[in-house]
A and B are shown apart, each in its own frame.
Chain A
Amino acid sequence: MTTMQHEFTADRQVERKRAWSNWATGMLFLLPSLLLFGVFLFYPMVRTVYLSLFLTDSQGVPIVFVGWENFLNLFQSTSFQISAKATALFVLYTVPAGIVLATALAILANQKLRGIGLFRTMFSATMGMSVAASSVIWMFLFNPSIGLFNRILAALNISGVQWLLDPQYALLSVSIATIWMNTGFAFLILLGGLQNIDQSLYESARIAGVSESCKLRKITLPMLSPTLFFVTTVSLINAFQTFGQIDLLTKGGPMESTNVIVYSIYKDAFINYNVGSASAQAVLLFVTVLVVTVLQFKIGERKVHYQ
């Protein structure tokens, strides 16, 4: 009895030792990425949460501990509510429209035609443009006095629109510019996804005499779904984190109608030097993006068809 017990413990010890050495080896492989993530991701994250509980001086050094006060102030502030609403609307305006547009263009550009390369280049061209350069182009297009859009409206005898100056239109205008900017990336990924679809499926469908729209619904979209899922996830996260075009086109105005959350964080941290309040907003943004992404994986991924 005792010997058996003894053997058993020895076994477990060996097993534990092996498990430990396995774990250590695994960790060794993970070390470079853990180190990178630790320095550039985990440490800043922990630090952000820490700072969100303080009032800081202008250099970001915490000086007064205030607990949840930064968060409470945010929830009571109308500015923050407007900002949250603007962010939600911005995501709603840009993500679905951008993906539908990119999918449509990708399907069009997936034909085997002469000169299709030209169209593929054109549709993906915006990927090669920086946010700054694109924003400047759109700034000129939107300009109420010399911009192209208002000239077209004037030629049609419609009175001009204050694209970026009217709180009613500003967010929509920035969204239009953003959709244009993001289409290139989504288009390219989706086109790649389309080209990966096994051609024999289409051949079988043709033999079976299936209609084009049926092919689209039953073959193309399901086979494209992993790519679509990826593009949606990345676009969503991107949309939540939009900054450049807001800074260049509207600076969060007019009347804070385009003051999306990342811009609001920037303003609080780097113009008003309220690092505590900015950190609190960053924490809230992180939680929101996390929840949205988890929900997407839980709900959205069920509809994804992996081959």
Chain B
Amino acid sequence: MKKLWIGSTAMALLLAACTSETEEAVQTTDATAAPAEDTGKTEVVFWHAMSGELETALNTLVDDFNASQEEYEVEPVFQGTYEEALTKLNTVAGTDESPAMMQVFEVGTKFMIDSGHIQPVQDFIDEEGFDTSIWEENITNYYSVDGVQYSMPFNSSTPVLIYNKDAFEAAGLDPEKSPMTYSELKEAAAALTEGEQKGFSILNYGWFFEELVAAQGGLFVDAENGREGQATEAVFNGEEGLNVFNLIKDMHDEGTFYNSGQNWDDMRAAFQSGATAMILDSSAGVKGMIDNAPFEVGVGYLPVPDDAERNGVIIGGASLWMADDIEAEQKQGAWEFMKYASSAEAQAQWHVDTGYFAINPAAYEEQIVVDQWAEYPQLKVTVDQLKETQANAATGGALISVFPEARQRVVNAMESLYQGADPQEALDQAAEETNRALEVDAAKNGN
């Protein structure tokens, strides 16, 4: 029996070894694919995290670029979710296997800068005198650090409140007026809660908490959200963070809050099946929601506390980064693609296909966008909310490299609310744990 056990372990090991080798082989072929040599074009490998319909839209964009010129051939390679893609990049960064261009989510910004393997696009902007003022100001605000544009904004989204208009009418609420303040939100949720239907739900995901704090002008970490220097302490457990936690806690206690877990699909299913009448969602999910929900869908701004000034939203989504240790030609190719992807036409098509923002507001004048907005007037709300955002440290978003860990801590704290934890204590604990992560990170960097 022992023999059998050892035998099977060895088999499993062999199998495991084989799989990892084939995977590597596949990646290598991807990275050094042949067709470029045949056509004499410079190959630009592009790692991204867009799956499903988003990937189709992205491939169309890339094909259009490849057909538009003769010199460069961009090859898109799907690498899993944002987190997975970043992990993979991490293993090859600085080597020959590294992709020329990489899509990285917004909270990976600081991590990428610190990695030391990237080429800031600012150099190309300066060299060419490229006019970045054509971009949405809030987007530039997020992705530039100390005046340097490190990466090219690409797919951007913000959070919005999505509500069930039919349920609003049934509850005697005005379906054209979405709740703008916490007390309006609570009242609406109370009116909407009936039988199996709850009033409101927030996904247990750090991003929504960050956004709700920023909407009131609150910071996430010190040093002006880490933009005036290295952040050393989490400050999201202040008044603004407490407002958010109190809101969740109060609504949960009143029975008007629906806990939809950590999975986006579960939250959307809960909304579409009528388990909850209002949710927070990404602006990129709005179109899909309108298409799929069996009722009228309304879109509104993020609510803020009654006495708070509305600051606006932090830009979410991802940007395109250029690798440093690649040939000059490849860098040029990546830059050409980035310029193409941010052009008004490309962004208009991208906005229509995916629901992500156009980083270039001129895209909203394009006919396809005008037509789309006539059909889906809700999409305009998402754009307006971004346009009305004040550019400051809060809406600029926090810049820390331990963001994924900070998010886990916040999610944990959110979940503990449903178990009756005290909001301030839960927040303090999350902040303390984030501080520890910041401390370890500082120790690594020798500070």
The answer to whether the Cβ of A167 comes within 8 Å of any Cβ in the partner chain is yes
The answer to whether the Cβ of B10 comes within 8 Å of any Cβ in the partner chain is yes
Q: Please, how many angstroms separate the alpha-carbon atoms of A267 and B260 in the complex?
A: 22
Chain A residue numbers with a CB within 8 Å of B14 are 36
Partner of B259, one of A36, A41, A165, A229: A165
Q: Do residues A146 and B273 form an inter-chain contact, with CB atoms below 8 A?
A: yes
Among B389-425, those with CB < 8 Å from A are: 401-402, 404-405, 408, 411-412, 415-416, 418-419
Interface size on A, residues (CB 8 A): 42
Among B427-447, those with CB < 8 Å from A are: 433, 437, 440, 443-444, 446
Chain A 245-287 interface mask (CB, 8 Å, partner B; 1/0): 0000011011110000000000100111110000000000000
Chain B 266-281 interface mask (CB, 8 Å, partner A; 1/0): 1001100101000000
Q: Do residues A253 and B415 form an inter-chain contact, with CB atoms below 8 A?
A: yes
Chain A 148-167 interface mask (CB, 8 Å, partner B; 1/0): 00000000000000101101
Partner of A255, one of B83, B402, B415: B415
Q: Do residues A270 and B87 form an inter-chain contact, with CB atoms below 8 A?
A: yes
Chain B residue numbers with a CB within 8 Å of A233 are 5
Chain A residue numbers with a CB within 8 Å of B416 are 255
Q: Please, how many angstroms separate the alpha-carbon atoms of A139 and B264 in the complex?
A: 13
Which of the candidate stretches A4-12, A50-58, A85-93 sits at the interface with the other chain? A50-58
Q: Please, how many angstroms separate the alpha-carbon atoms of A267 and B87 in the complex?
A: 11
Partner of A271, one of B17, B83, B259, B266: B83
Chain B residue numbers with a CB within 8 Å of A255 are 412, 415-416, 419
Chain A residue numbers with a CB within 8 Å of B266 are 143-145
Chain B residue numbers with a CB within 8 Å of A36 are 10, 13-14, 17
The answer to whether the Cβ of A64 comes within 8 Å of any Cβ in the partner chain is yes
Knowing A40-B13, A272-B404, say if A55 contacts B440 (CB, 8 Å).
yes
Chain A residue numbers with a CB within 8 Å of B446 are 63-64
Q: Do residues A145 and B405 form an inter-chain contact, with CB atoms below 8 A?
A: no
Chain B residue numbers with a CB within 8 Å of A304 are 1
Partner of A274, one of B259, B262, B411, B440: B440
Knowing A145-B269, A164-B261, A253-B262, say if A229 contacts B16 (CB, 8 Å).
no
The answer to whether the Cβ of B26 comes within 8 Å of any Cβ in the partner chain is no
Chain B 323-336 interface mask (CB, 8 Å, partner A; 1/0): 00000000000000
What's the minimum C-beta distance from B33 to chain A, rounded to whole angstroms?
25
Q: Please, how many angstroms separate the alpha-carbon atoms of A251 and B411 in the complex?
A: 11
Q: Do residues B275 and A145 form an inter-chain contact, with CB atoms below 8 A?
A: yes
The answer to whether the Cβ of B204 comes within 8 Å of any Cβ in the partner chain is yes
- Minimum CB distance partner of A269 in chain B: B87
Knowing A33-B10, A59-B93, A143-B266, say if A253 contacts B83 (CB, 8 Å).
no
- Minimum CB distance partner of B115 in chain A: A58
Q: Please, how many angstroms separate the alpha-carbon atoms of A143 and B265 in the complex?
A: 10
The answer to whether the Cβ of B295 comes within 8 Å of any Cβ in the partner chain is no
Q: Please, how many angstroms separate the alpha-carbon atoms of A162 and B204 in the complex?
A: 14
Q: Do residues A229 and B405 form an inter-chain contact, with CB atoms below 8 A?
A: no
The answer to whether the Cβ of B111 comes within 8 Å of any Cβ in the partner chain is yes
Among B240-266, those with CB < 8 Å from A are: 259-263, 266
Chain A 19-62 interface mask (CB, 8 Å, partner B; 1/0): 00000000000000100110011000000000000011111000
The answer to whether the Cβ of A226 comes within 8 Å of any Cβ in the partner chain is yes
What's the minimum C-beta distance from B81 to chain A, rounded to whole angstroms?
11
Q: Do residues A165 and B444 form an inter-chain contact, with CB atoms below 8 A?
A: no
Q: Do residues B419 and A167 form an inter-chain contact, with CB atoms below 8 A?
A: yes
Q: Please, how many angstroms separate the alpha-carbon atoms of A56 and B262 in the complex?
A: 29
The answer to whether the Cβ of B4 comes within 8 Å of any Cβ in the partner chain is yes
Q: Please, how many angstroms separate the alpha-carbon atoms of A306 and B1 in the complex?
A: 9
- Minimum CB distance partner of A165 in chain B: B261
Interface residues in chain B, defined as those with a beta carbon under 8 Å from any beta carbon in chain A: 1, 4-5, 8, 10, 13-14, 16-17, 83, 87, 90-91, 93, 111, 114-115, 204, 259-263, 266, 269-270, 273, 275, 401-402, 404-405, 408, 411-412, 415-416, 418-419, 433, 437, 440, 443-444, 446
List 22 A-B residue pairs with CB atoms under 8 Å apart, sorted by A's residue number: A36-B17, A40-B13, A40-B17, A41-B13, A55-B443, A55-B444, A58-B114, A63-B444, A139-B263, A144-B266, A144-B275, A145-B275, A146-B269, A146-B273, A165-B261, A253-B412, A254-B415, A255-B412, A271-B404, A271-B408, A272-B437, A306-B1
